Structure 1
Amino acid sequence: MSQDLKITLVKSHIGTPASQRAVLNGMGLNKLNKSVVLKDTPEIRGMIRKVSHMVNVTE
């Protein structure tokens, strides 16, 4: 069984490269301080790594 991760956007995506905005939109993070709960998979971990400076992750 995979665990869930709670991901919160804590920094604005304004002024970031289009690829990072696409990652945030793919995770469902489109507003500041919005949180989503996603499954802990290697794909999601890679997305988190790409925008780690903009999000907080709790397990």
Structure 2
Amino acid sequence: MADAKKIKVTLIKGLANTMPVQRRTVKALGLGKISSSVVHDATPATLGMVRVVAHLVKVEEM
């Protein structure tokens, strides 16, 4: 891969009243507190995880 796309994922909502699978997905993405951000390669696995918690996060292409 010459130049893999990157995405920046930021947690914008809290995890109260969310399903356990969503909490585990947020933790697996490396997010903890509100406003925490991480940068990941835009692989199909990562994009699928983001889709599960799309209502809790903001995604930016880099």
TM-score, normalization by structure 1:
0.96
Unmatched 5+ stretches in structure 2: none
Which letter maps to 2:41? K
Q: Distance in 2 between matches of 1:29 and 1:15?
A: 17
Aligned residue pair count: 59
TM-score, normalization by structure 2:
0.91
Identical columns (%): 39
Q: Distance in 1 between matches of 2:48 and 2:33?
A: 21
Match of 1:18 in 2: 20
Which letter maps to 2:49? M
Q: Secondary structure at the match of 1:44?
A: helix
Runs of 4+ aligned structure 1 residues displaced above 6 Å come to none
Q: Distance in 2 between matches of 1:25 and 1:48?
A: 12
Match of 1:57 in 2: 59
Post-superposition offset of 1:30: 1.0
RMSD: 0.6
Larger Rg belongs to = 2
Unmatched 5+ stretches in structure 1: none
Q: Distance in 1 between matches of 2:39 and 2:16?
A: 23
After superposition, residues 18-57 of structure 1 pair within 5 angstroms as 18-57=20-59
Post-superposition offset of 1:14: 1.3
